[in-house]
Amino acid sequence: MHIGVPTEIKNSEYRVGMTPSGVHELAHHGHQISVQRGCGVGAGFTDQQYQKAGANILASAEQLYSSVELIVKVKEPLPKEYAYLRPDLGLFTYLHLAATEALTDVLLQSGACCIAYETVTDSSGHLPLLAPMSEVAGRMAVQAGAHCLEKAQGGRGVLLGGVPGVAPAHVVIMGGGVVGTQAAWIALGMGAQVSVLDRSLPRLRELEALFAGRLNTIFATREALEFYAQRADMVVGAVLVPGAAAPKLLTRQQLAGMKARSVLVDVAIDQGGCFETSRPTTHEQATYVVDDIVHYCVANIPGAVPRTSTVALTNSTLPFILELAEFGIEAALLNNIHLREGLNIYKGKITCQAVAGNFGREYCDPLLLLAAKDSSSVGRLDSSIPVDIEK
């Protein structure tokens, strides 16, 4: 298969869809890889490294998209890239369609086969391609929030860990999944008082055991969400409904009761955000203030640490890319239910129930659509393909 890796054009996005090690692995299996010139520079990977790994270097995005069968990238296509989409093209990337109906319509009209990292599953029901970026985002959320609490950044002027004789800041984390767990590790490591709210009692028990009682675990009723938010110095929004828009946890009226110049970090912003006052921001202009509350709502938080993020992402995506390449996109989707869960748009149809439900659109079962094609039945590729570590 001919696979293409373009340069990301989203604001302050320095990640790239594949490392040179990933290119080397695919080339070893006999596949052709083309990368756009300079695609890895932001993450510290040179064109020479990609060439040495076996990639062709193409000068433009137009040239790249027109010559490959599968595009592997990081973020959703932007308007400049829409014209490159076509019915016989596969797209493998983060899409977060529930946050933008306009992009959903563009992908439907393109006829392309669009597989979203964030809805691919594994045998345990987890989201293996979302997890590495959730880990990065969770850790960075507290790091960024601590910076925003500084007076010079518009915050309350509070040190997260306090000092002897001065109480630490109170960090409230809404959601106890991957993002929330990683945020808790960093907040506790920085010496903060930490409370985690979640609707799953089994998960709260797991967190209680994991952190040996060093944080407060709270069942997330509406009353509890408001109560703890209004006593927090920093609130981290870390909720996830796979493939769907994030639920709104706090209204503007509730936020008005928070401490002046406290900080909201909305990690769910790429799924629409979990606070009523949230709107996407960029790394260049990361914050804004509403009702005297500092909002940090960067939609690509892991893009600030592109080296770490790119290696972590490639380690997770490479086995799936190999499967798509070895068997062909449609056959791989037909034979792997976990990969098929990632299929959001196929031949002008919405194949993700959460996306269809969010916009009140028709949902089409991807298995039925794929089975209607003349796809041969093949066995699964061994998903334990080794991945080179970063050198």
Catalytic residues: 96, 270
The size of the chain, in residues, is: 391
Q: Looking up tokens 């910076």, which residue turns up?
A: 147
Q: Distance between CA atoms of 209 and 269, rounded to whole angstroms?
A: 29
Q: Tell me if 324 sits within 8 A of 1, measured CB to CB.
A: yes
Q: Tell me if 27 sits within 8 A of 51, measured CB to CB.
A: no
Would you state the torsion angle of the CA atoms of residues 330, 1, 343, 108, taken in this order, to the nearest 10 degrees?
-90
Q: Tell me if 293 sits within 8 A of 277, measured CB to CB.
A: yes
